Amino acid sequence: MPSTPGQSARIDQFFAGPGGRGDAWKNLVELVESWARGSGSRAEVEAALAELAVTEGFHAYPGVQLMTALRERVAEDDARGTASLARRMTRAVITRSFRQNPTDWEAHEDDEAAAADVLPPALGRTDAHRPYFEVAIVTGAPAARWPALGAEWRRLRRPLDAFIYEPIFVGSFEDAFCASVLNPDLAAVVIHEGFTFRSRHDAPILRTLVEAMDENEGAKASALSLAQVIKRVRPELDLYLVANGEVEDIAGDPKATALRRVFYAVEELLELHLAILEGVQDRYDTPFFNNLKKYAQRPIGTFHALPIARGKSIFKSDWIRDMGEFYGPTLFLAESSATTGGLDSLLEPTGNIKKAQDMAARAFGADHVFFVTNGTSTSNKMAVQALLAPGDIVIVDRNCHKSHHYGMVLAGAHPLYVEAFPMTEYSMYGAVPLRTIKQALLSLKADGRLDRAKMVDLTNCTFDGHIYNTRRVMEECLAIKPDLIFLWDEAWFGFARFSPFLRPRTAMGAANDIEAWMHDPASVAAFEKQEAELGKDPSDDVLLKTRLIPDPRKIKLRVYQTNSTHKSMSALRQGSMLLVKDVEFHTVEAQFREAVFTHASTSPNQQLIASLDVARRQMELEGYGLVHNAIEIALAIRQAVAAHPLISKYFHILGADKMVPAAYRESGFVDYLDPKSNWAAALRSMKEDEFCLDPTRMTLVCGTAGFDGTQFKGILANTYNIQLNKTSRNSVLLQSNINNTRSDVAHLIRVLVEISNEIDQRLAQGGPNVRQGFEARVKSLMTDVPDLPNFSHFHAAYRREAGKRTNEGDIRAGFYAAYDAAGCEYIRLADPEIDRRLKDGPDLVSASFVIPYPPGFPIMVPGQVITQETIDFMRKLDVKEIHGYNAAQGLKLVRTDALAEPATSPPKPPRERHGRERAAAGHERRRVA
Ligand SMILES: Cc1ncc(COP(=O)(O)O)c(C=O)c1O
């Protein structure tokens, strides 16, 4: 409902991001234009303007004076003048040209001089591009004084300043919160003591959100309370407190850690100005990239390898000059194999790479970060190798990326596979229920082998967008084993750090929350209360049903996260980070160094390292707005597909209700598009539900349009230049990211309309045969789906050290068995011998990983006993790409007669092998036997 001027307005819809803001302005322009044409009314314009003014108050542009000028034109009944100004303002808001263009701030386009005294130009007229940001000033001063205060701030600007900023003023706690949420350009907040609590605006949902943000004590109009709430929403912002009285007391308060600096009220404003600029400079700084730029400009003679460095052999060549022209000279000037002369060594960083890594740790809420230049495939292997020793048990999602499985082969760790909930209809898996993970731990405990369980290794979010309740998983697991290590593969989810909604569900977000909880005295009481309630020896059943609270005094918080920075941020392909928050890191630091030496190339790419540094800078300075935009774009796509009558006839995007079974949506959240959903409900779901759906990952069902995933992916790529993510039997995965624009949405929707139209016409004109063919195809894709096979178990020969209740095994021994050619056999999938062996034995034991794409998880791992389920699935699979399987040869199996007999039998002598093969496999065989 549009509100009339003077009425307080609802600002609950403020989560409409930058696109929503642009739409509101375009809507205003349309209303003004209709008024100018005589088909609309001035009252409509006034109402829309009043509504817009509420949220615009949280942005520096257009600012009070331009908004006043606009209102005055309306009041003067000047429809054409209003339209002209509104159009200019709208253009500036949408293109963000106001950041560099002083005339955007002037009400009279052709009369800059006249405007100058009305509208202080926001920007110094300088040719050099200076990055722009905004600063929120929270103040108790009356709103009438804000323009004068703003002028005071602007007078502080100096040509020397590296950045330029505009102040915006808010007078209450709630408005300060709104500004932090709404304004992606904010880089700092200055909090003057003496503001009020309530917003001038009506916003019940906002209030729920504020309360949710300050869970410990309930928000109040204190500067420190405000600082804490803002830090929860935007940890990257610099917060400054200007205190009236006891500065020393405030600075000494533990809550003051949220502040960058505390000032005494009467001190120089210039100091504050300089502190703000320095704070932004701190984030802007990219130590490695800066040095690489300097290096590239120096006249350096190279007498080391890498002839491409400096580009001379390229630009002088008749034959490869085009490569130089394509990439530009800078790339070659910045190529070097040196680790000195201003550069640093990725393998043993002590200089600017170390600094860059420390800054990334700050940005991502970790204690340490390793930059990795071979993708998260390598980060995962590094973490697994560094943290696990042969024989350690890892509870791991069987559907995790293959780097984990291979990592365990290398480490000799024993995977205890746990299964995600299946989504058979769509030939994909969800995520692993916490109950399953707890059951695995309790079973190990019952077998007396809990001490060997070292790690829980899960993928968050999954390829298809299932987000774990990371905090709950870690807390409940730590209640069973307080020193478990957690490895969260957040290959797809690195960006989530920069969304207040998603952050608590990230590994580091949850680890930081758990750490804060551990230091809260109420936590021990909560633990003791539960301990007393559970009694001395609670049954597994009770433990599985109870939301377990760990003992905060015993927990050793050991959390690792890997992310493919290149998948969700502005890093070059293969740029990845490994984040560490581990109180025991000092005990494994040397192992990590070994893991780096094992896996990192000794010739890491300088551009990749620089891009990791720069990606961090970007996320710290504009990640909030970019992620907001990616979410907004995803919601726009979801909305457009659901609402379009033709598209929705053949396609749909799976909502949270379809992706996450109701049992795991305890809050009752249905979906982002559900009419009853609002952001408070989404926040509750993020907080409480066992699994949530990452809105940016959209499963578009195309089986209902008669396409299998691979086929549809091909059509989009080859005919329409749309590249997308993974496919399943009957769906494709679309993903929005920080790079997407509304034009991308428009293109996608147009293409879906075109394809839907074609289907519609084909069905309308093709007669009954075509229709029947289509229906049969849809039925085959949507209902004749193969059951997804669960992991069965390792062969007894690989379970020597296993217990009775769990299925872990020695995957490394299974893997190396395949090196013994004579000890392996091949049977083709269609061979009746497979069926005979399944029925009468001996066991079919896989000698390799078999990973079909899609779905992309190993349906067989080395040493696994193959069951009917797996064979049925393989036989029904209609995908071409199956890693580890050659259809012409058949399944590669370990000959069971080559395997060790049960433990009571004496080990068999190793069979004859040749040279290197014997050397490679002999040791492993003996381990198995
Ligand atoms: C869950 C998961 N982890 C790790 C990786 C590997 O990441 P990268 O491509 O950066 O090596 C992928 C790749 O798709 C993945 O999906």
Quick check: 235 and 365 in contact, CB under 8 A?
yes
C-alpha of residue 401 to centroid of ligand 1, in Å: 6
List Cα–Cα distances, 679 to 406, 460, 501, 663, 676, in angstroms.
41, 22, 9, 21, 10
Q: pLDDT value at position 675?
A: 82
For residue 400, which atom of ligand 1 is closest to its CA? 1
Q: Residue holding tokens 């005055």?
A: 72
Cβ of 565 below 6 Å from ligand 1? no
For residue 463, which atom of ligand 1 is closest to its CA? 16
DSSP character string of 141-196: S-GGGHHHHHHHHHTT--TT-SSEEEEEEE-BHHHHHHHHHH-TTEEEEEEES--B
Percent of the chain with pLDDT over 90: 71
pLDDT digits (tens, 9 = 90+) for 833-864: 999 999 999 999 999 999 987 667 889 999 99
pLDDT digits (tens, 9 = 90+) for 359-375: 999 999 999 999 999 99
> For helices 173-182 and 223-233, what crossing angle results, to 10°?
20
pLDDT digits (tens, 9 = 90+) for 134-149: 999 999 999 999 999 9
Q: Taking Cα atoms as reference points, which of 927, 808, 690 lies closest to residue 454?
A: 808
Average pLDDT, whole number, for the chain?
A: 88
pLDDT above 90 for 782: yes
- Collapsing DSSP states into helix, strand and coil, what is residue 520? coil
Question: Exposed, middle or buried by CB within 10 Å (0-12, 13-18, 19+), for 767?
Answer: exposed
d(CA 709, CA 733): 9
Q: Which of 403, 406, 572, 601 to mutate to test the pocket of ligand 1 (most atoms within 8 A of CB)?
A: 403
Cβ of 375 below 6 Å from ligand 1? yes
Instruction: Return all residues near 182 (Cβ < 8 A) that are at least 6 apart.
Output: 14, 55, 58, 59
C-alpha of residue 254 to centroid of ligand 1, in Å: 39
Quick check: 368 and 624 in contact, CB under 8 A?
no
d(CA 785, CA 798): 32
The confidence band for 212, taking pLDDT boundaries of 50, 70 and 90, is low
Percent of the chain with pLDDT over 70: 89
The confidence band for 307, taking pLDDT boundaries of 50, 70 and 90, is confident
The confidence band for 310, taking pLDDT boundaries of 50, 70 and 90, is confident
Dihedral sign computed on CA atoms, order 29, 33, 35, 41: negative
> For helices 269-284 and 606-643, what crossing angle results, to 10°?
90
pLDDT above 90 for 1: no
C-alpha of residue 526 to centroid of ligand 1, in Å: 38
Average pLDDT over residues 510-527: 96
The residue among 866 and 122 whose pLDDT is bigger is 866
pLDDT digits (tens, 9 = 90+) for 685-705: 999 999 999 999 999 999 999
Q: Which of 564, 569, 576, 605 to mutate to test the pocket of ligand 1 (most atoms within 8 A of CB)?
A: 564
The confidence band for 128, taking pLDDT boundaries of 50, 70 and 90, is low
Lowest mean pLDDT among 177-191, 297-311, 327-341, 773-787: 297-311
Q: Which of 377, 379, 572 to mutate to test the pocket of ligand 1 (most atoms within 8 A of CB)?
A: 377
Helices (H), 459-550: 470-480, 507-518, 521-534, 540-545
Cβ of 740 below 6 Å from ligand 1? no
- Collapsing DSSP states into helix, strand and coil, what is residue 423? strand
Cβ of 464 below 6 Å from ligand 1? no
- Collapsing DSSP states into helix, strand and coil, what is residue 28? helix
pLDDT digits (tens, 9 = 90+) for 545-575: 999 999 999 999 999 999 999 999 999 999 9
The C-alpha angle 461, 464, 466, rounded to 5 degrees, equals: 40
Cβ of 733 below 6 Å from ligand 1? no
pLDDT digits (tens, 9 = 90+) for 862-891: 999 999 999 999 888 877 789 999 999 999
Cβ of 488 below 6 Å from ligand 1? no
- Collapsing DSSP states into helix, strand and coil, what is residue 5? coil
List 189's β-bridge partners, or say none. 136, 239
DSSP character string of 266-316: TS-HHHHHHHHHHHHHHHH--HHHHHHHHHHHS-----SS-TTGGGHHHHT
d(CA 237, CA 259): 9
- What stretch of H or E contains 641? helix 606-643
- Collapsing DSSP states into helix, strand and coil, what is residue 415? strand
The confidence band for 758, taking pLDDT boundaries of 50, 70 and 90, is very high
Q: How far is CA 867 from the centre of its chain?
A: 36
Q: Which of 371, 372, 374, 376 to mutate to test the pocket of ligand 1 (most atoms within 8 A of CB)?
A: 376
Q: pLDDT value at position 201?
A: 73
C-alpha of residue 459 to centroid of ligand 1, in Å: 10
Q: Residue holding tokens 């350690």?
A: 392
DSSP character string of 723-777: ----B-SSEEEEE--TT--HHHHHHHHHHHHHHHHHHHHHHHHSHHHHHHHHHHH
d(CA 344, CA 819): 40
Lowest mean pLDDT among 309-313, 548-552, 649-653: 309-313
The residue among 908 and 136 whose pLDDT is bigger is 136
Q: Are strands 485-489 and 453-459 parallel, antiparallel or unpaired?
A: parallel
pLDDT above 50 for 121: no
Q: Which two tokens stand for residue 381?
A: 């292997």
Q: pLDDT value at position 311?
A: 82
Q: Which two tokens stand for residue 187?
A: 């880089």
Lowest mean pLDDT among 502-516, 747-761, 798-812: 798-812
pTM of the model: 0.92
Cβ of 458 below 6 Å from ligand 1? no
Q: pLDDT value at position 213?
A: 63
